[in-house]
Chains A and B, each alone.
Chain A
Amino acid sequence: MAWQWFHRLGSPKWFYEKTEKWLPWLGLIALLLLVTGSIWGLGFGPSEAKQGNSARIIYIHVPAAILSMAGYYVMAIAGAIGLIWRMKLSFMVMKAAAPIGAILTFLALFTGAVWGKPTWGAWWVWDGRITSMVVLFLLYLGIVALQEAYQNQDTADKISSVLALVGMVNIPIIYKSVDWWYTLHQPATLKLTQKSSIDPSMAYPLIMMILAFYLFYAWVLLRRTRMEILRREQRTSWVQDLVARG
């Protein structure tokens, strides 16, 4: 049946067992790429003509920012699937995604502020992109808080999914902010459809780091989701067997 995979995917137990063997590989490859990409960017990539060595921050700033937005889509879409098809597992993914997104958004803001000091001369400027990233950070925190605020898990899931969906309007705003309010942030330099305006010697380590962050994100998201499965299914016999085994 074509729909069978969808129902299976909705089974927390099936998901828990299936993801088990991917995890070590995902974590290992993510770590290798992170280390290689960082060494490449820090030591072997060129220093930028105008910004000098501070431009080496790009290799963590941009991936963190990309994943903070991609992670928001993951969270909001998981919430939507939960609302529409009443899929419990989907709500668990949404809950698991929120703190990861908050930390990645914080890292994007932090590295951006530190990068701003030597290049723009200021730690913080309320330009369009920074402001919309702060909104993103607050949305993530709001969802984390909502999940904690309700005794009833079902209510918490539904309300935080609605907030996640409403907050999705912010993502295109972040994305287009550099074109709409052209102040300090430069427009995108790495493009899929046109020729990129970034030199390959910087683009390669950057692409490697973006890939590393994606894999790392998937690794952490899977593990957090699995933890949430254990918590919510703690009364079932399969989780109790798993606990008994250690």
Chain B
Amino acid sequence: MNLVFQFSDLHSFLWMNGHGPYVWGCYAMTFLGLAFLALEPRLQRKRFIRQQKALAQRKPAARGER
């Protein structure tokens, strides 16, 4: 298999004979969705740790083993 770039220039790569908006739109939406999935756990973790720390500060006596 020889891998050759299928387009002559950047414009034809972006335009893709009229299919460009469809193709690029799909890739954009997909990577948006994947980026959300990738980033959300990190944000939730940060929020969780912040909440737990605030909770621990508010009632230090209530903390401990259960």
Among residues of B, the one whose C-beta sits closest to the C-beta of A100 is: B37
Q: Count of A-B contacts with CB under 8 A? A: 106
Contact call B53/A115, Cβ cutoff below 8 A: no
A240 to B31, CA, bound (A): 35
Q: Is the interface of A mostly helix, strand, loop or mixed?
A: helix
Contact call B30/A231, Cβ cutoff below 8 A: no
Among residues of A, the one whose C-beta sits closest to the C-beta of B24 is: A42
Contact call A54/B23, Cβ cutoff below 8 A: yes
Most chain-A Cβ atoms within 10 A of its Cβ — which of B19, B27, B64, B66? B19
Give A residues with C-beta under 8 Å from B: 27, 34, 38, 40, 42-47, 52-54, 56-57, 60-61, 64, 100, 103-104, 106-107, 110-111, 114-115, 117-118, 200-201, 204, 216, 219-220, 223-224, 226-227, 230-231, 234-237, 239-240, 243-244, 246
Knowing A53-B16, A231-B48, A240-B56 are in contact, say whether A42-B34 is a contact too (CB < 8 A).
no
Could you list some 29 contacts between A and B, CB below 8 A? A42-B27, A44-B3, A47-B6, A52-B16, A52-B19, A56-B19, A57-B22, A61-B26, A64-B30, A104-B33, A107-B30, A107-B33, A114-B26, A114-B29, A115-B26, A118-B22, A200-B1, A216-B38, A219-B38, A220-B38, A220-B41, A223-B41, A227-B41, A230-B45, A234-B52, A236-B66, A237-B64, A243-B52, A243-B56
Contact call B5/A43, Cβ cutoff below 8 A: yes
Contact call B37/A227, Cβ cutoff below 8 A: no
Give B residues with C-beta under 8 Å from A: 1, 3-7, 13, 16-20, 22-23, 25-27, 29-30, 33-34, 36-38, 41-42, 44-45, 48-49, 52-53, 56, 63-66
* Interfacial chain A residues near B17, Cβ < 8 Å: 47, 52-53
* Interfacial chain B residues near A42, Cβ < 8 Å: 13, 23, 27
Knowing A107-B33, A111-B30 are in contact, say whether A117-B22 is a contact too (CB < 8 A).
yes
* Interfacial chain B residues near A237, Cβ < 8 Å: 64-65
> 10 other contacts beyond A110-B29, A117-B22, A200-B1, with CB at 8 A cut-off?
A44-B3, A53-B17, A53-B23, A57-B22, A103-B33, A107-B30, A111-B26, A227-B41, A239-B52, A243-B52
Knowing A44-B3, A204-B1, A227-B48 are in contact, say whether A114-B22 is a contact too (CB < 8 A).
yes
Among residues of B, the one whose C-beta sits closest to the C-beta of A213 is: B34
* Interfacial chain B residues near A235, Cβ < 8 Å: 66
Task: State how many angstroms separate the Cβ of B8 from the closest Cβ of chain A.
Answer: 12
Among residues of A, the one whose C-beta sits closest to the C-beta of B5 is: A43
Among residues of A, the one whose C-beta sits closest to the C-beta of B23 is: A56
